[in-house]
Amino acid sequence: MPDHSQHETVTIIVDKKEHKSPNPTTGKALYALGGVDAQSYDLFRETHGHGDDELIQDNDTLVALKDGDHFFSLKKKLNPGSFHGANP
């Protein structure tokens, strides 16, 4: 009988860097693995097709991974209206 208490290990990409992770894992563990500062950044899993990328919460919720999943971080507060070169 297979031992289901053992987690498989998958290869994932976080901000263009390859990492090994147990599967499943938690959002909190993904932030830590990728060195993502959860205070300033959100972590997303890239989705294929037309849907939105999936926001990964920095908590203990289980996240099922697939070998080759890509994740990226984005600053939580973007300020696109702060262009200082405009004339008043």
How does pLDDT run across 37-79, given as a tens digit for each residue? 999 999 999 998 888 999 999 999 999 999 999 999 999 986 6
Residue-by-residue DSSP string for 28-60: HHHHHHHT--TTTEEEEE--SSSSPPEEEPSSS
Q: What is the separation, in whole angstroms, between the first and last Cα of the chain?
A: 73
Q: Note the pLDDT of residue 1.
A: 45
Percentage of the chain surpassing pLDDT 90? 74
Neighbours of 75 (CB within 10 A): 10
- Fold annotation for 8-75: Ubiquitin-like (UB roll) (3.10.20)
User: What are the residues whose beta carbons fall under 8 Å from the beta carbon of 28, sequence distance 6 or more?
Assistant: 38, 58, 59, 60
Q: pTM above 0.85?
A: no
Over 60: is that where the pLDDT of 82 sits? Answer: no
More confidently predicted of 20 and 87: 20
70 contacts 11 by C-beta, under 8 angstroms: no
